Amino acid sequence: MSATATRTDVPAYDRPAGAAITAAFARDFGTRWEAAWNSHDTDQVLALLHPDIRWNDTVFWPEVIHGHADMRKYIEKIWAVMPDVHFREVQFFTAVEDGRALYLFEQTAAAPPASGLDTTATTYGCDIFLGFRDGLLADYMAQYEIAEMMRQFGMLPPRKGRIGGAYLLSLASPK
Average pLDDT over residues 140-153: 92
In a domain, 34, yes or no: yes
Condensed to tens digits (0 to 9), the pLDDT of residues 30-51 reads: 999 999 999 999 999 999 999 9
**CATH number of the domain residue 22 falls in:** 3.10.450.50
What is the domain extent for residue 88? 12-172
In a domain, 43, yes or no: yes
In a domain, 89, yes or no: yes
The Cα–Cα gap between 52 and 65 comes to 10
* pLDDT at residue 2 in the model: 37
DSSP H or E run through 43: helix 42-46
Average pLDDT over residues 48-65: 96
In a domain, 4, yes or no: no
In a domain, 58, yes or no: yes
* pLDDT at residue 10 in the model: 46
88: CB partners within 8 A, 6+ apart:
34, 105, 106, 107, 108
In a domain, 3, yes or no: no
> How many helices (DSSP H) and strands (DSSP E) are in the chain?
5, 6
The Cα–Cα gap between 65 and 106 comes to 23
The band of 97, judged by pLDDT with boundaries at 50, 70 and 90, is very high
Closest CA to 126 of 23, 34, 19: 34
Closest CA to 142 of 26, 55, 78: 55
In a domain, 149, yes or no: yes
The band of 1, judged by pLDDT with boundaries at 50, 70 and 90, is very low
Condensed to tens digits (0 to 9), the pLDDT of residues 110-142 reads: 999 999 999 999 999 999 999 999 999 999 999
DSSP state of 16: P
Closest CA to 11 of 133, 151, 131: 131
In one-letter notation, the amino acid at residue 16 is: P
Closest CA to 48 of 124, 134, 151, 175: 134
Q: Full-prediction pTM beyond 0.95?
A: no
In a domain, 41, yes or no: yes
* pLDDT at residue 103 in the model: 98
The Cα–Cα gap between 73 and 60 comes to 13
* pLDDT at residue 144 in the model: 92
Higher pLDDT, 15 or 146: 146
Domain count, the chain: 1
Q: Is the pLDDT of residue 15 over 60?
A: no
